[in-house]
Amino acid sequence: MKSETARISSVSEVTEKIKGVIEGSMLLRSVCVRGEISNFTRRPGRFGSDYLYFTLKDDKTQLSCVMFEGVNELDIDPQNGMSVVCEGMITVYPAYGKYQLKCYTMSEDGEGAAAAALEALKAKLLDEGLFSRKRERPKYPRKIAVITSPTGAAVRDIENVIARRYPVTELCVIPAFVQGANAVPSLIEGLQKAQSIGADLIIFGRGGGSSEDLDCFNSEALARAIYASKIPTISAVGHEIDTTIADLAADMRAPTPSAAAELAVPDIETLKNTLDALKSRSVKAMKRTLSDCETELSGLAKDVQLHSPRARIAAWEARLTSLKTAVSTEIRKRLDRAESSLMINARAISATNPLEVLSRGYAVASKNGKAVKSAEELAPGDIIDVKLNKGGVSAEVKKIEV
């Protein structure tokens, strides 16, 4: 319950009072601060000068800073991890009710302790070989363990990409802190749990954040837990400027959780197109093979048919039939020619047969058994025998005509 005498003030009024107290303090009008630069950004300002926004930090706390390049003295090129000394005054930014160091000068104070320690740790783990092993991820993962904050954007991005590209895989989200003091043991516990749930791939990480937000991924203990994993790992810490130790220890690094999901699974539509093409080529190859086999089988069948005993017997039977026909034809021709010749000879013999001559009214005269060929062979009073067609007679020659 508010006091009856208390005056109600707006947020702006309270902020203005704080601003007046802080900026009116002689102790805060001119301060020199040593710290390590982080979250450095440069934005275009008015009148051709850039606005520099960054954080100065040490091992216990951090301080927001702003500086106007071109107006203030700046002899160095500020970079994250650089240890610097800044001189300026503490002011209040009313829009956010936030105090900050408005820097007038900045000078380099050597490499920051945190950055040096990080580089030393990287060198140590590199020498031990923790960054050398890079295993192949499974081409078609059945189950993927995702170690991240269950309420962050990273897990939603991964789920959306997997559902679109390869919905047949199973996602198992293992909740873990990805920022703060509990992040390292939580991430290590998630890696250990992933070994026993049947996953064949692990994605761990978070969305983008400041360098301080990502400090847990530069832990030596986490790096050793990643290296001890029997399952291939993909680091999906959403930052592209710096490389964390977790990135180096993992089997593969992705710039964002969405990119990690893209790398983790194939595109099912591409797989379908590939399978359709393979199916088409397989069908064509099978048809060609079947056609070649049919042609070869047909040739073999012909060879078998030509060389089989039955085919040979049939061939010899056909040849014998042909020879029989040829012999019969030749014999018939020869018989016909012999018969024709015989008939001709018979007619010739018949034409010259004396009996045939006698049958036409002629007679044959003989004397003393010899045929009389001329009247000069006879004399009156000779006795001759006369052969007729039927029978014969003996006669005495009375008269001779020559």
Kindly state the percentage of the chain with pLDDT values over 70. 92
Q: What is the mean pLDDT of residues 86-98?
A: 91
3-state SS, 318-334, equals HHHHHHHHHHHHHHHHH
Cα 356 to chain center, whole Å?
111
Cα–Cα distance, 312 to 314 (Å, whole number): 5
pLDDT over 80 at 213, yes or no: no
Which residue shows structure tokens 């070994």? 195
Quick check: 50 and 69 in contact, CB under 8 A? yes
Residues 222-267: pLDDT tens digits?
999 999 999 999 999 977 666 899 999 999 999 999 999 999 999 9
Which residue shows structure tokens 């007729």? 388
pLDDT at 103: 92
pLDDT at 110: 59
Kind of pairing between the strands at 233-237 and 252-253: parallel
H helix or E strand, kind and range, residue 111: strand 98-111
Q: What is the mean pLDDT of residues 214-223?
A: 92
Cα–Cα distance, 104 to 73 (Å, whole number): 6
Quick check: 88 and 103 in contact, CB under 8 A? yes
pLDDT over 60 at 166, yes or no: yes
pLDDT over 90 at 7, yes or no: no
pLDDT over 70 at 98, yes or no: yes
pLDDT at 382: 80
Largest CA distance in the chain: 217
Query: Residue 211: which of 115, 324, 338 has the closest Cα?
Result: 115
pLDDT at 60: 87
Residues 278-292: pLDDT tens digits?
888 988 999 899 888
393 confidence band (pLDDT: 50, 70, 90): confident
154 confidence band (pLDDT: 50, 70, 90): very high
pLDDT over 70 at 1, yes or no: no
48 confidence band (pLDDT: 50, 70, 90): low
Cα–Cα distance, 312 to 307 (Å, whole number): 7
Q: Which two tokens stand for residue 233?
A: 């790992």
Cα 317 to chain center, whole Å?
61
